A and B are shown apart, each in its own frame.
Chain A
Amino acid sequence: MNRQAAFFAVTAVVLLLLPLVIKSDVVMTILVFAWLQGMLAVSFNLIFGFTGQLSMFHAAAFGIAGYATHLSMQYLGVGYWTGTVLGALLVSVLSVIVGTICFRFRLKEFYFAVVTLAFSEVARITVVNWNSVTNGTLGINLQEKPWLFGFKVDDTVSWYYLSLVALAVTLLVCSRVVHSWMGRCFSAIRLNDELGDTLGINVFRYKLAAFVVGNFIAAVAGSLYAYYLGSLEPGFLSIDASLGIVAMVLLGGRSSVAAPVVGAVLLVSLPHLIHFSAEVRSIVYGSILILTILLMPQGIYGSIASLLRKRHAS
């Protein structure tokens, strides 16, 4: 077993046994949020870090899924898991529409960010104003919890394992994709999409694929998050939320599949280590964004990785 696999195996064992050691509910709660935000960050990185598209639609995917899950449970009478699947399907359809529009018109980087931001804002405004369905800015309180194998996922430890498994599956899927021929297509698109085109890569198709897969995973994360938190609100779809996702990825690192999780863990735990008001949290997010862009573009994971590489080389 090579060193990387060993590292992951040890980490996995530690994480699985953690609840037996840590008795603090607060810490466990933080970790649940961290794993779910980690899913968000990793899936965003598939679109941004690997395929090079700065999507400002990710928070919208996250938020819409939560509402969609709740609404399908309420109006269609389905259970939680069916609701989650329906929510994820809705988000996928929306992603196909938004993605097709953006990529058909060959919107480059910045303009893609602006247009996805516009779509995200339209979604948020819809949620805020469609009071009859979404209860507007007041949000919705969610009482139900998912049932799994006959057990109600209600306590922190159960949620810990559920979210950890969800994150693990996400990492596995993304890793498989990134290290396959499709991942090479993503890299080609990120680095020089015109060259990729002349080499026979259908750039439109793979940009869309990354976008839809990434948003699908965000949707699942969104559904889990809303039901763990117990509430829904339009703030999930805000530009601030998108900013938070970008900050996690920039902080953790863009160049590896798992690196964004580092950013997620840090940003989720920060407000609990130092008690922040909402304003100070925004100041921190914004500062992190600025500082990482200017000083540490590779993120924490990336910087450490390149430091280690340099030490090996010398």
Chain B
Amino acid sequence: MLLEVRKLTKRFGGLTAVADVSFGITKGEIVGIFGPNGSGKTTLLNLVAGLMPPTEGDVLWKSAPIQGRPAHEVAASGLVKTFQNPQLFAELTVLEHVHIAAHLALKRRLGWRRLATLLDPDAGNASGALNERAEQIVRLCRLDASRDRLAAEISYGEEKMLGVAMALMCQPELLLLDEPASGLGAAEIENLEAVLRDLKQHGTTLCIIDHKVGFLGRLADRAIGLHHGAKIAEGAPDEVLRNPDVVMAYLGHSRDRI
């Protein structure tokens, strides 16, 4: 079990954003977390990524608690999260973004010896291998055409893909995606699905939260339904989607009544 979430609860004053949620993620699967807006999905993901401390419960990443670990350590240990609203470096180009994200890979490859590259930029040929990887990922994420454009100038869909690309450069074992499809058009969603399926092929475990039922339904191996911060269903995607509680959460009333 790569990730284990146990009785996770988060309260903000009087508001309970996440209520007693427990689940696990095993290596190689794609887990989709569904829920309408306001069901606590983003808060749950932030808790899982260690970005905020839970009120109760714990999160175990590779059997070690994730609470209190600084963000860069979490990323270095293989757990990487993307942002729902794309976070970018305004003045830099797409390619430069990906190169910055290569830092973790460089650190893994060379460790302390990377200091030597300050004196001699070609030392260890690390930059060669990493440049290649960067190119691969840019192509994979269909950002090739925009590689030299400034982040401020690319489309929203490309911004989201750039977020994914940067996360990929960090060589994640588990990639947490926060509403990757929101704001994207049909063609872009297709693109995203292809990329994510590719990732799974290459051994990356994915955990995706979204409220777009179709997108997640096609992609996920296993689904978890969330409503008002609590887990209301778990199982195969089509099962979960047919679950009357889940339908009630989305539509406000059960299917039979339509």
Answer whether A201 and B118 are a contact pair too, CB < 8 Å, given A187-B100, A195-B88, A196-B100.
no
Answer whether A184 and B103 are a contact pair too, CB < 8 Å, given A199-B170, A200-B76, A200-B170.
yes
Assess the B119–A176 pair: CB atoms within 8 A.
Answer: yes
CB of B242 closer than 8 Å to a CB of A: no
CB of B89 closer than 8 Å to a CB of A: yes
CB of B121 closer than 8 Å to a CB of A: yes
User: Pick the contact of A198 from B71, B90, B107, B169 — CB < 8 Å?
Assistant: B71
Chain B 49-93, CB-CB to A under 8 Å as 1, else 0, gives 000000000000000000000111001100011010001111110
Q: How far is the CA of A202 from the CA of B106 in the complex (A)?
A: 13
Assess the A187–B92 pair: CB atoms within 8 A.
Answer: yes
Size bracket of the A interface: 20 to 34
Q: How far is the CA of A176 from the CA of B157 in the complex (A)?
A: 35
Contacts of B107 in A (CB 8 A): 200
User: Pick the contact of A199 from B90, B96, B101, B118 — CB < 8 Å?
Assistant: B101
Assess the A201–B72 pair: CB atoms within 8 A.
Answer: yes
Size bracket of the B interface: 20 to 34
Assess the A194–B87 pair: CB atoms within 8 A.
Answer: yes
Q: How many A-B residue pairs have CB under 8 A?
A: 79
Assess the A187–B121 pair: CB atoms within 8 A.
Answer: no
CB of B149 closer than 8 Å to a CB of A: no
CB of A250 closer than 8 Å to a CB of B: no
> Min CB distance, B245 to chain A, in Å?
34
Contacts of B100 in A (CB 8 A): 184-185, 187-188, 196, 199, 201
Contacts of B118 in A (CB 8 A): 176-177, 180, 182
CB of B117 closer than 8 Å to a CB of A: yes
Contacts of B92 in A (CB 8 A): 187, 191
> Min CB distance, A172 to chain B, in Å?
11
With both beta carbons as reference points, the residue of chain B lying nearest to A203 in the complex is identified as B72
CB of A2 closer than 8 Å to a CB of B: no
With both beta carbons as reference points, the residue of chain B lying nearest to A206 in the complex is identified as B103
Assess the A195–B121 pair: CB atoms within 8 A.
Answer: no
> Min CB distance, A183 to chain B, in Å?
9
Assess the A192–B89 pair: CB atoms within 8 A.
Answer: yes
Assess the A181–B117 pair: CB atoms within 8 A.
Answer: yes
Contacts of B106 in A (CB 8 A): 181
Assess the A201–B121 pair: CB atoms within 8 A.
Answer: no
Q: How far is the CA of A253 from the CA of B59 in the complex (A)?
A: 47
Chain A 106-144, CB-CB to B under 8 Å as 1, else 0, gives 000000000000000000000000000000000000000
Chain B 102-126, CB-CB to A under 8 Å as 1, else 0, gives 1110110000001001110100000
With both beta carbons as reference points, the residue of chain A lying nearest to B169 in the complex is identified as A199
Assess the B75–A199 pair: CB atoms within 8 A.
Answer: yes
Assess the B103–A200 pair: CB atoms within 8 A.
Answer: yes
With both beta carbons as reference points, the residue of chain A lying nearest to B118 in the complex is identified as A180
Contacts of A187 in B (CB 8 A): 89, 92, 96, 100
Q: How far is the CA of A196 from the CA of B80 in the complex (A)?
A: 12
Question: For chain A residues 179-225, which have a beta carbon within 8 Å of chain B?
Answer: 179-182, 184-185, 187-188, 191-192, 194-203
Contacts of B117 in A (CB 8 A): 180-181
Assess the A199–B103 pair: CB atoms within 8 A.
Answer: yes
CB of B208 closer than 8 Å to a CB of A: no
Answer whether A181 and B114 are a contact pair too, CB < 8 Å, given A188-B89, A188-B100, A198-B81.
yes
Among A179, A191, A198, residue most surrounded by chain B Cβ atoms (within 10 Å)? A198
Q: How far is the CA of A165 from the CA of B92 in the complex (A)?
A: 33
> Min CB distance, B161 to chain A, in Å?
15
Q: How far is the CA of A277 from the CA of B209 in the complex (A)?
A: 66
With both beta carbons as reference points, the residue of chain B lying nearest to A196 in the complex is identified as B100
Chain B 134-173, CB-CB to A under 8 Å as 1, else 0, gives 0000000000000000000000000000000011011000
Q: How far is the CA of A24 from the CA of B23 in the complex (A)?
A: 80
Contacts of B127 in A (CB 8 A): 181
Contacts of A177 in B (CB 8 A): 118
CB of B99 closer than 8 Å to a CB of A: yes
Contacts of A182 in B (CB 8 A): 118
User: Pick the contact of B103 from A191, A192, A194, A201 — CB < 8 Å?
Assistant: A201
Assess the A198–B75 pair: CB atoms within 8 A.
Answer: yes
With both beta carbons as reference points, the residue of chain A lying nearest to B108 in the complex is identified as A200
> Min CB distance, A5 to chain B, in Å?
15
Contacts of A194 in B (CB 8 A): 71, 87
Assess the A200–B89 pair: CB atoms within 8 A.
Answer: no
Q: How far is the CA of A194 from the CA of B119 in the complex (A)?
A: 28
User: Pick the contact of A192 from B70, B80, B87, B99 — CB < 8 Å?
Assistant: B87
12 pairs of residues in contact across A and B, judged by CB atoms under 8 Å:
A176-B121, A181-B127, A184-B99, A187-B89, A195-B88, A198-B72, A198-B75, A199-B72, A199-B80, A199-B166, A199-B169, A201-B104
With A176-B121, A181-B114, A188-B100 known, 12 other A-B pairs at CB within 8 A are: A176-B118, A181-B106, A184-B100, A185-B100, A187-B96, A191-B92, A192-B88, A198-B81, A199-B104, A199-B170, A200-B170, A203-B72
Query: What 3 pairs across the A-B complex have the smallest Cβ distances?
Result: A200-B104, A200-B75, A191-B89
